[in-house]
Amino acid sequence: MAGADAPATRPRAEWLPALAIGIATGILPAISRSPAAMRAMAGALVTAPVLWIAFSRPREWPLLFCGAAILLPPAPFAIGDSGAHASILIAAAGLLGGMASLREWRIRRSGLNAALAAYLGALALSLGWAALYSGAAIAAQSAARVILLGTGVYVYFTASQGPAQAGGAAAARGARALFRIAAAAAIFGCLDFLYQLPAPAGFGAQYVWLSTGVYRRAQGLFYDASALGNFCAFFFVMSVVAFTARKVLSRLAAAFGIALFLAAMLLSFSRAAVGAAAIACCALAVVERRRWPVARVGFAAAALVSIAVLVFAAMPSEFASTYIARLGFAGGAGVTPERFFSGRLETWKTIGGFLAEHPWQILTGIGYKTLPYTQRLGKPVIADNMYLSTLVETGVFGLGALLGLNAAILGAAYRAARRGSFFGKWMFCFWAGEVFQMMLGDVLTFWRVLPVYFWVLAQVVSDESTAG
């Protein structure tokens, strides 16, 4: 009987290599004469290791997915605004791996879980209005964006309450791995600006005009300079927290991260990201107010200013003056509110006028992520304001869900930070800045960086549950 029962207790992934070899041996001779079949076979061989990790090492899947989403550029295929992305295949593999590990899931009742579910639910419910007001094609694009956002939420659940739970030393190793991945992306972002590397398909036309020429803002491996700035702000905050707390990263690595991510953030010309990073540093000073003397805070501020000066000194002569003018500290009468906000005020007035003429839209919305494509407002518009776009696209329920989500994330992270959690301090400080950046950008649409944020949030929740 023991021998008969043994196969049922073997790990679920042990039979996969034999099955793969058997399938390959059986079908390889049949497809060797078909180029299309050979390409399909090559693709299957490439994805096989991903499936292997998703099934046999689920803890490593989130980091693999995050690394692919960050480091791989979009493929030059006409799918969406930025092209297809290979990380979607890895996300699908992780979903299959999670479905195969249903017994390992332990979903808890918490305000954060409810807030995430409510926000995703509000987006999904708005898809019907997207089809009604903008047509099936735009509604399908909106549904795809809900799914992309859902990949990040899935990372959170599987890493905090599913088979990919880490915690302790494993979480610290994962954070260091993400830091190295992020450093590679930031270095590429700096090189992207300095050498104006050719932009792959799907990159945004975002430029800065200097007397020495027209430069594309640093976008790195992302398709949007604001996404790079937001991403660098996240790891800049990590580096600052690690430098002060002396956890996860060495002092030298943290100092390197502070300089690198600040430089890449400045080269992205994302003022909102810089503002978010500044708010995050202020939040850290509040959290650490009992441990930080005033002299240490002043020294840290002077060090950050010095790094910024060095970055400006390495750039073309008018780079610093142009950046300062964009911040509104120079330029005289030429710096109007409309110019300071880069045309956002006119867009916000257009959206406000539409809501004033159609007040019922505040209740229902017009459909998630339809503003840049629909003619419902007379022309497509880009809100560049997460709160305003959420209100007009998903109604009061969606806006309430977003505000509740922000409150839940800040609450969970703050509780962890007060207990001394490195991840709690990192997430609380960053999300305090993120709440600000949402006023100047649709940051929750940066789906390629959101999985990293949600992985860190998962560690916050894991710390909290362990302490409880």
d(CA 275, CA 199): 27
pLDDT digits (tens, 9 = 90+) for 379-400: 899 899 999 999 999 999 999 9
Fill in the amino acid letter for 206: Q
Identify whether residues 158 and 179 lie together within a single domain.
no
The verdict on residue 36 lying in a domain is yes
Same structural domain, 177 and 317: yes
Helix (H) or strand (E) holding 299: helix 294-313
Residues 268 and 324 in one domain: yes
Same domain, residue pair 318 and 366: no
Which pLDDT belongs to residue 346?
Answer: 87
How many angstroms separate the CA atoms of 262 and 307, rounded? 8
What CA–CA distances, in Å, run from 24 to 12, 46, 447?
20, 13, 35
**106 lies in some domain:** no
Listed as ranges, residues in the chain with pLDDT below 70 are 1-48, 50-51, 75-83, 199-202, 211, 292-343, 463-468
From 309, 334, 359, the end of a domain falls on 334
The mean predicted confidence, pLDDT, of the chain is 82
In a domain, 5, yes or no: no
Which SS3 state, helix, strand or coil, does residue 447 take? coil
Domain membership flag for residue 107: no
In a domain, 226, yes or no: yes
Residue 464 identity (one-letter amino acid): E
Predicted TM-score (pTM) of this structure = 0.85
Predicted local confidence at residue 206, as pLDDT = 81
Inter-axis angle of helices 61-71 and 35-56, nearest 10: 130
Alpha-carbon gap, residue 258 to 270, rounded angstroms? 17
Q: Are residues 90 and 38 in the same domain?
A: yes
Q: How many domains does the chain have?
A: 3
Would 104 be classed as within a structural domain? no
> Which among 271, 304, 334 is the end of a domain?
334
Q: Is residue 6 part of a domain?
A: no
Q: Does residue 305 share a domain with residue 220?
A: yes
Which of 304, 334, 364 delimits the end of a domain?
A: 334
Q: Do 330 and 349 lie in a common domain?
A: no
Same domain? 402 vs 374:
yes
Task: Identify the pLDDT of residue 80.
Answer: 56
d(CA 61, CA 164): 7
Between CA 94 and CA 75 the distance in angstroms is 21
DSSP one-letter code for 214 = E
Tell me, yes or no, whether 272 and 319 share the same domain: yes
Position 322 scores a pLDDT of 66
Same domain, 180 and 129: no
Name the DSSP letter for residue 341: T
Does residue 127 lie within any of the structural domains?
yes
What pLDDT, on the 0 to 100 scale, is given for residue 59? 83
- State the residue range of the domain holding 43: 12-99
What local confidence, expressed as pLDDT, does residue 101 receive? 85
Torsions phi, psi for 35 (to 5 deg): -60, -40
Q: What is the pLDDT of residue 137?
A: 93
Looking at the structure, tell me whether residues 173 and 305 fall in a common domain.
yes
Same domain for 136 and 210, yes or no, is no
Cβ distance 245 to 425 under 8 Å? yes
